[in-house]
Structure 1
Amino acid sequence: MNLNQVTIPSLDVSTSISFYKKLGLHLIVESLPHYARFECVEGDATFSIHLVDALPDNNSVYVYFETEKLDKEVERLINEGLQFDLLPTDQRWLWREAKLKDPDGNQIILYFAGDNRKNPPWRIN
């Protein structure tokens, strides 16, 4: 089994499209006002947004995008006007992460983990 795509909720798909295009995702389906799908720059996964009447009541959506050039990418996005809740920081789980929210409040984590993503020292064999 392979992860094909992740879909997140949005109150305004058009606004979300602009945000995710700034992140660098490539828009491949635009069915406004209800739906949009993107390709990730690397790999085969896709990412989509669908219109909802109300967002979840809690912080239940976390989306991680990995990039080897994390610090440079965060700098680029700050120059594009995006605000980060956490600038690139080395975490105890051996990932370097930066955090921001999309227009709907979904938590977006840009990170770099390298081999530690799937093979941390505490991996179960």
Structure 2
Amino acid sequence: MNLNQITVPSSSLERAVPFYQKLGLKLIVDALPKYARLECPDGTSTFSIHHVDDINTTNQGITVYFECEELDDEYDRLIELGLAFATPPTNQDWLWKEASLFDPDGNRIILYYAGENRKNPPWRVK
């Protein structure tokens, strides 16, 4: 099984789409103001955003992870574009390096690099 797409809710695609474009995703379906689909710059996964009238921004149930081989450089690029991060690139106990931010609707975004530890950490079940 391979990840095909993730869809997140948004109260304003006019705000959300440019945010994800700054992250490097390419708009491939433009059905604004109700729906947009973007293509990840690496791999084959896509990312969708659909309009909702009422979004519960206190619900932290949606977290999206985007892997970046050059995480520090990507972080610097996004800071230059004016994106605000909740946490800078930080080495985690689970052997991933992560930086976090929130999209305009409060969905948590994690940019990370894990290398071989993404699917094969030392504690992987054999």
Structure 2: which 5+ residue stretches go unaligned? none
The 3-state SS of whatever aligns with 1:85 is strand
Residue type of the alignment partner of 2:48: S
| Aligned counterparts of 2:2 and 2:113: Cα–Cα separation in 1 | 21
Q: How does 1:1-125 map to 2 (within 5 A)?
A: 1-56=1-56, 57-125=58-126
The runs of 5 or more residues in structure 1 that have no matched partner are none
C-alpha displacement of 1:14: 1.4
Structure 1 segments, 4+ long, off by >4 Å, are none
Q: TM-score, normalised by structure 1?
A: 0.97
Task: Tell me, in whole angstroms, the C-alpha distance in 1 between the residues paired with 2:112 and 2:3.
Answer: 19
Q: 1:2 offset after TM fit, Å?
A: 2.5
Whole-angstrom CA distance in 2 between matches of 1:3 and 1:40: 11
2:76 alignment partner AA: E
- Aligned-residue Cα RMSD (Å) equals 0.8
Separation in 2 of the partners of 1:35 and 1:74? 27
Pairwise CA distance, 1:31: 0.2
Length, aligned pairs only: 125
- 1:68 Cα deviation from its structure 2 partner: 0.6
